[in-house]
Amino acid sequence: MSNGILIYLAKLWFSLVLSGLFVASCTFLESTTKPEGQLLFVGESEDGLDSEAFVYNLEKEITNQLTDNEITDYYAKFSADGKQIAVAAGLPMPGIVLVDIETQDLYQLTNEETLVGYLSWSSDGEWIAFSKDMDSGSVNSDIYRVNIDNSTVSKFFGTDGNDIRVLWSPDGNQVAFSSNFEAIEFNDYDVYVYEIDDASIVRLTFEDSDDAPLSWSPDGKYLIVSSGTGLDNQDKRFFLLEVDTGNKEPLIEDKNYSTGKNENSAIWSPDGNWIAIDVDGRICIMDLKGELYDCYTEGYKYILTDWGP
């Protein structure tokens, strides 16, 4: 079992007490009347030994459980058309599972010897990128991709470090990810972008902290990233990062919210008008002015993973 992936998948179970958001210095669309689409999340069972994938329909205000098995579902992402989700499944059958939203039929896309983490669909729906270790005793992951039609897995790209938290851009030309390959400390991760056309890698953050890409803006110009204030990563903050320039603006008005629980999620809505976050096991939606719209899924420990059509 991979120590590197286990360390970072374990962080998914932590959440953060969050204060208001504010609009950084860039132009956004005007807010719609209410958020639309579907929120995707994984929920931890009461005994803490299992987790399953759920989807919440914002228009119908209905939550549906999509998986129900003895396998831990660590992470999940929507396909571009919102008709399927890909789930990173854990032991005893590690790999990627596809779930049809309407029928809830499951299809085992890959079978892996080591745990899979941080998967992301391509915009054309033909590929899923994910991180994994080739060596089950290694702490270094690379980025792989699997073809949806024939289940062929191939190495996508990688560095000499631990490459995780893969996030395909909306136009399909770039892949954001975290890596520690230029760091002195193992838990010092920075955000990079892999350019598919020329196979180049561009570094976007330079802090001594654990930096992670969380969500692309729908136009592909910005990333929401999380960053700690030091190598202990106890004071986690959200930032809006402009991909072309590397300029970074804080999204959090007041950083005095930290409980020492890291890895909170922030996901842009498909229309770009809202941001969803998970707070103390609940999922909340805020508009781009920082006004709270509503919170969902109270009373159960949920980890927000995606927002689909």
CB neighbour list of residue 86: distance below 8 Å, 6 or more residues apart = 76, 77, 79, 96, 97, 98, 99, 109, 119, 121, 128
Domains of the chain by start residue, with CATH: 3-308 (2.120.10.30)
Whether cis (ω within 30° of 0) applies to the bond prior to 250 is no
- Helices and strands counted in the chain (H then E): 1, 24
Tokens of 2: 């991979």
pLDDT tens for residues 24-80?
A: 333 344 445 799 999 999 987 666 677 889 999 999 998 888 988 777 888 899 999
**Structure-model confidence comparison of residues 176 and 238, the more confident one:** 176
**Residue 90, pLDDT score:** 79
Counting beta carbons within 10 angstroms of the beta carbon of residue 121, is it exposed (0 to 12), middle (13 to 18) or buried (19 or more)?
A: buried
Which of the residue ranges 100-109, 224-233, 256-265 has the most confident prediction, judged by mean pLDDT?
Answer: 100-109
Contact in structure between 272 and 10 (CB atoms under 8 Å): no
pLDDT tens for residues 128-176?
A: 999 987 655 557 899 999 999 999 999 999 999 999 999 999 999 999 9
